């Protein structure tokens, strides 16, 4: 035995797939005490929790010594009723990103391929790489929309999962019913298509389909929804999938046990019951989105049609300068280096500050 036997001299062997996993960059917070007053960098909802949410959370606060209901029974029943789907077709998780990770765990591993548009939600490359599968990124069209024909052509016999982010983060663009159905018809039945509808509630174009309608007669379609955006519960981490068996059952198997806190479950139920207020708030945010987009177009910017709670400006090399200019005006936005800036629709005052920054920047070009 060597002298070092029993002592820990090396590092544990970690999976090679983790090498080079890009780190998730959270939206920068507004600096405390600094000139920046508003955070428009994470597609959060500027409104406080919906009526009834705080009350339900406070009422449950004396049970933190207990584990939550692992089956999320109350929430599942509420969701089943609200969306007209069986409870057995539902699975919850720690945010929809948690459910997305479970979907990968359930379908994909080393040697498999996962297709998604790029640029799209930045968690896709991270969770794909962690699963061990290979990302196949299909560039957006010149109009910043999913290129569904190119995505269909990218399918091979190794493809296990395809993300369609509708509307797309960060561009806000969405694919319409006819083209999405045509695409789904081209996908082999053993490949899972995940319609990520994190921003569904903000959609106003009637031609953009509701994924839950598309999933009904398509066993290889799963829909992801979240309470983080329109419902304003980003901090509580609760999202869900609607999918046929055996996909939903696989999700329940791969989910982190007790991942969704009782607080989050109760808050989600209370939020679902406050639908009138929710619709009013979403309506106001959509109104602000249209105002902001029209003002930007009026200033001379090219802004893709957005169906989400954010706008996208493709700024290329000027991205970092633009983000810095926004900060000087009191708003922190989300730059994607060398590509563009995503700006969340916030409270009216924040949106005005952003528009002032955009106008001043434009004049200096
Ligand atoms: C397209 C998309 N999907 C999923 C998520 C994840 O949201 P959450 O995990 O908070 O439900 C986000 C968040 O930014 C998103 O933009």
Report which protein residue has its CA nearest ligand 1's atom 13.
Answer: 198
Q: Are strands 90-93 and 38-39 parallel, antiparallel or unpaired?
A: unpaired
- Contact between 166 and 180 under an 8 Å Cβ cutoff? The reply is yes
Q: How far is CA 201 from CA 45, 77, 114, in A?
A: 12, 20, 26
Quote the pTM value.
0.95
3-state secondary structure of 257: coil
Q: Which of 292, 293, 295, 288 is nearest to 303 (CA)?
A: 293
Q: Hey, whose CA ends up nearest to atom 8 of ligand 1?
A: 95
Q: What is the pLDDT of residue 298?
A: 98
> Which three-class secondary structure state does DSSP give residue 200?
helix
8 A C-beta contact, residue 91 and residue 251:
yes
For 360, phi then psi, to 5°, come to -65, -40
Kindly give the distance from the C-alpha atom of residue 213 to the centroid of ligand 1, in angstroms, as a whole number. Answer: 21
From 226, 255, 268, 310, mutation site for ligand 1 pocket: most ligand atoms within 8 A of C-beta: 226
Atom 3 of ligand 1, residue of closest alpha carbon: 198
Contact present, 87 and 189 (Cβ < 8 Å): no
What the block records as the tokens of 359 is: 């106008």
Q: Tokens representing 198?
A: 């994190």
pLDDT of residue 2: 46
pLDDT value of position 3: 47
Q: What residue owns the CA closest to ligand 1's atom 12?
A: 198
* Ligand 1 center to 352 CA (angstroms): 26
Compute, in angstroms, the gap from residue 1 CA to the centroid of ligand 1: 52
- Of ligand 1's listed atoms, the one at least distance from the Cα of 43 is 14
Q: Residue 83's Cα: distance from chain center in Å?
A: 20
| Pocket lined around ligand 1, Cβ cut-off 6 Å | 43, 95-97, 121, 165, 169, 196, 198, 226, 228, 234, 239
- Burial of 254 from C-beta contacts in 10 A (0-12 / 13-18 / 19+): middle
Intra-chain end-to-end CA distance of the chain, in Å: 71
Q: pLDDT (tens digit, 0 to 9) for every residue of the chain, 365 residues total?
A: 444 555 667 888 999 888 888 877 788 877 666 666 899 999 999 999 999 999 999 999 899 999 999 999 999 999 999 999 999 999 999 999 999 999 999 999 999 999 999 999 999 999 999 999 999 999 999 999 999 999 999 999 999 999 999 999 999 999 999 999 999 999 999 999 999 999 999 999 999 999 999 999 999 999 999 999 999 999 999 999 999 999 999 999 999 999 999 999 999 999 999 999 999 999 999 999 999 999 999 999 999 999 999 999 999 999 999 999 999 999 999 999 999 999 999 999 999 999 999 999 999 88
* Radius of gyration for the chain, computed over Cα atoms and rounded to the nearest angstrom: 21
Distance 198 CA to ligand 1 centre (A): 6
- Residue pair 314/11 in contact (Cβ under 8 Å)? The answer is no
Q: What is d(CA 132, CA 106) in angstroms, rounded to the nearest whole number?
A: 12
Q: Which of 11, 33, 93, 6 is nearest to 330 (CA)?
A: 33
Do 312 and 306 form a contact (C-beta atoms < 8 A)? Answer: yes
How many angstroms is it from 38 CA to the middle of ligand 1?
20
């Amino acid at each position: 035995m060597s002298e070092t036997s029993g002592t820990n001299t090396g590092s544990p062997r970690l999976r090679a797939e983790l090498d080079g996993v890009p780190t998730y960059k959270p939206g920068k917070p507004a600096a405390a005490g600094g000139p920046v007053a508003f955070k428009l960098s994470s597609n959060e909802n500027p409104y406080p929790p919906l009526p009834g949410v705080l009350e339900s959370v406070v009422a449950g606060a004396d049970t933190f010594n207990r584990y939550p209901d692992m089956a999320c029974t109350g929430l599942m029943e509420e969701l089943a009723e609200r969306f007209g789907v069986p409870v057995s077709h539902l699975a919850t998780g720690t945010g929809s990103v948690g459910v997305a990770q479970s979907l990968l765990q359930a379908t994909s591993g080393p040697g498999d391929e996962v297709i998604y548009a790029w640029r799209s939600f930045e968690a896709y490359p991270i969770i794909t790489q962690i699963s061990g599968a290979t990302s196949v990124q299909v560039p957006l069209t010149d109009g910043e929309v999913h290129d569904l024909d190119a995505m269909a052509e990218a399918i091979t016999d190794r493809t296990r999962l395809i993300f369609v982010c509708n509307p797309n983060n960060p561009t806000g663009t969405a694919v319409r019913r006819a083209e999405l159905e045509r695409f789904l018809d081209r996908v082999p039945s053993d490949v899972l298509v995940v319609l990520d509808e994190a921003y569904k509630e903000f959609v106003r174009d009637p031609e953009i389909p509701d994924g839950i309608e598309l999933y009904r007669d398509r066993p290889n379609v799963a829909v992801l929804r979240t309470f983080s955006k329109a419902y304003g519960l980003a901090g509580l981490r609760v999202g869900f999938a609607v999918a046929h068996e055996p996909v939903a059952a696989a999700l329940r198997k791969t989910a982190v046990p007790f991942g969704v806190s009782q607080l989050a479950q109760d808050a989600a139920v209370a939020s679902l019951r406050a639908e009138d207020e929710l619709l009013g708030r979403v309506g106001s945010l959509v109104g602000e989105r249209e105002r902001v987009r029209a003002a930007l177009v009026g200033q001379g910017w090219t802004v893709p049609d957005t169906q989400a709670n954010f706008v996208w400006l493709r700024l290329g090399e000027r991205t970092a300068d633009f983000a810095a200019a926004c900060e000087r005006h009191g708003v922190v936005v989300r730059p994607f280096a060398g590509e563009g800036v995503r700006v969340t629709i916030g409270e009216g005052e924040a949106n005005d500050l952003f528009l002032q920054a955009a106008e001043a920047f434009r004049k200096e070009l």
